[in-house]
Amino acid sequence: MIEFARNVRLWFVPERIREDGGTPDYRFSLANERTFLAWLRTSLALIGGGFAVDQFLPDLRWAWRVGLALGLLAAGVLCALRSVNHWIRCERAMRRGEDLPVSRFPALLGIGVALVAVAMVVAVLVGWEA
């Protein structure tokens, strides 16, 4: 938990990361940044999907529509927050010469999106208002 709190502080003062270890090859730092941006694009897509479900499926039962929309919006928020934390963790590991951090988040996100997709299939098949 202390490590997470330290990482959160680095979100807002990223220049302090230079105090940790040596400067890695710029190509690796730039690749880390591209990965961060890819996670942000994923986050934006999930958020957009949540709004799309809410706005473009008005005939879907309210509980289904709101549940699916909130699920996608929550996944988008978690993905955005996770992307910043993962960027910091990777940058610190590269500067220290350590192995890159591993995470269960991609698997959990994939399972979560799959569950929302299955729920959407069920909602489309049986969730329409009469």
The yes-or-no verdict on residue 130 having pLDDT over 70 is no
According to the model, what pLDDT value does residue 129 have?
Answer: 55
According to the model, what pLDDT value does residue 92 have?
Answer: 92
Q: Where are the beta strands (DSSP E) in the chain?
A: none
Residue 59 DSSP code = T
Q: Which residues pair with 60 in a beta bridge?
A: 128
* Contacts made by residues 124-130, CB under 8 angstroms, sequence distance 24+: 124/60, 127/60, 127/61, 127/64, 128/59, 128/60, 128/61, 129/59, 129/60, 129/61
Q: Is residue 118 left, alpha or beta, with left meaning phi > 0 and alpha meaning psi from -120 to 50?
A: alpha
In the structure, what pLDDT confidence band is assigned to residue 127 with cuts at 50, 70 and 90? Answer: low
**pTM of this structure:** 0.83
For the stretch 91-102, pLDDT in tens is 999 999 999 999
